[in-house]
Structure formats: structure tokens, C-alpha cells
Chain A
Amino acid sequence: GQQLNQSPQSMFIQEGEDVSMNCTSSSIFNTWLWYKQDPGEGPVLLIALYKAGELTSNGRLTAQFGITRKDSFLNISASIPSDVGIYFCAGQGGANSKLTFGKGITLSVRP
């Protein structure tokens, strides 16, 4: 089946640093979604990407839909302590297909 690869499993950065995470697949996706999950909460949608090459920003977050349609990245600039959480990527192959999730990257931000 389809799989999304996110690595490493954990990242540790200093407050104020930028961080980049990527998500890769052996399959093509038509939609890429990035979620953040705070401890004890459900995943919250951060950014949705629908077109190869698309670059979308949401505040300090920027995400891109890879040209090959097999990858996406999320960049967080000037990190702050509340950026701590698990970041999931998810891909959808089409209107009738289910979401495929990566296993998530746990981000820690040192003050």
C-alpha cells in the first residue's frame, strides 16, 4: 500500500531557529496536507496543498507541494515554544481515496 516517510522521528531545536521537515512517498498524490497535534489534542490542519509546485504560507509556516508529486516539505521559521508538538504529513491520491498519513515528527523547542 501507499506509505509516507517522515524522518527523523524527533527533532530538537533552539527557540528562534528555523526548521524544515519533509515527507516523501513512492506514490503520487494529488493533495498534501500538513497537521500539527498538540499534546492531548486532535490533529489540527495547518496547510493544504493541491497543485504540484504550489508554495503556501500560513504565518511562520510555509509548505510546498513537490514537483514530482511524491514529496512535500514544511518549514517553520523563527520557532517559538508553542511550536512544540507532532507534525504529520498526509497525502490523498484523489477524490475517492483515503488519506495516507506519515508517522509524524515530534518537535521540541528549547527556550
Chain B
Amino acid sequence: NAGVTQTPKFQVLKTGQSMTLQCAQDMNHNSMYWYRQDPGMGLRLIYYSASEGTTDKGEVPNGYNVSRLNKREFSLRLESAAPSQTSVYFCASRYTSGWGVDTQYFGPGTRLTVL
């Protein structure tokens, strides 16, 4: 049981290049999230997927696209990377039960630098 995994762990891009950040969870959770973390800004939600087949914008979606490939996998794509997208990206999955338990688990992060 690996929890939430992310690849790659580090990436350097040039402005204008594209790439896809991969995320997978093996906990059978319905909801998955992508955040970015910048100094002094905390965690900001980029996109989320409440269930397989659905995606919605979060607080800072511009410049990103997502795909919920199946229940396990939720990818984040940068079509044309910009220096402002230099950040640490975290994927998370959420577990809710019928009796009030509601928790969210994070992956280890992808550290992206755009030159």
C-alpha cells in the first residue's frame, strides 16, 4: 500500500515546454486534488476531481489542465510552461466515510523549475 505516489520527483523545463505530472493512489479514494505550494502562499488548489470522470477548477487553474484517467490516476499537464509555474506540486486523495470520517492524504511532491 504505497498511498499517493507522484512522478517525477524533480523536473527542470524551459519556458514554453510542456509536461505532465503523474499521480496515482492505491487507497480506492474517490476524490483527488492538485495543489501548488509557494513560499508564503501556503497550499493553493489548482484542480480537483470529486469522482472518476469529473474535474473542476480550483483557486489557480490558469495554465494547467488535468485528466482523471481512472479512479487511481489524476494527471496535471502544463501545455506551455512559464517561470511563474516554478513551484512544488502536490497531489492528494480524499477519503470520506458514511459516519463522518473525512481525511486527505498527500503525495511526496514534484519540484518543478521553469527557466
Contact = CB atoms under 8 A, between A and B. Distances in A.
Given A42-B90, A42-B109, A88-B42, A98 B48 contact: yes
Interface in A57-111: 88, 90, 92, 95-96, 98-99, 101-104
Interface string B28-65: 00000100000011110100101000000010000000
Nearest to B106: A42
A103 B109 contact: no
Contacts of A102: 42
Interface residues of A, number: 23
Given A41-B108, A103-B40, A50 B45 contact: no
Residues of B contacting A: mostly: strand
Interface residues of B, number: 23
B92 to A, nearest CB: 8
A4 to B, nearest CB: 9
A98 B104 CA distance: 10
Interface of B: 4, 33, 40-43, 45, 48, 50, 58, 90, 94, 96, 100-109
Interface of A: 30-31, 33, 35, 40-45, 48, 50, 88, 90, 92, 95-96, 98-99, 101-104
19 contacts: A33-B103, A33-B104, A35-B106, A42-B4, A42-B107, A43-B43, A43-B90, A44-B106, A45-B103, A45-B105, A48-B101, A48-B102, A50-B100, A90-B104, A96-B50, A98-B45, A98-B48, A99-B104, A101-B42
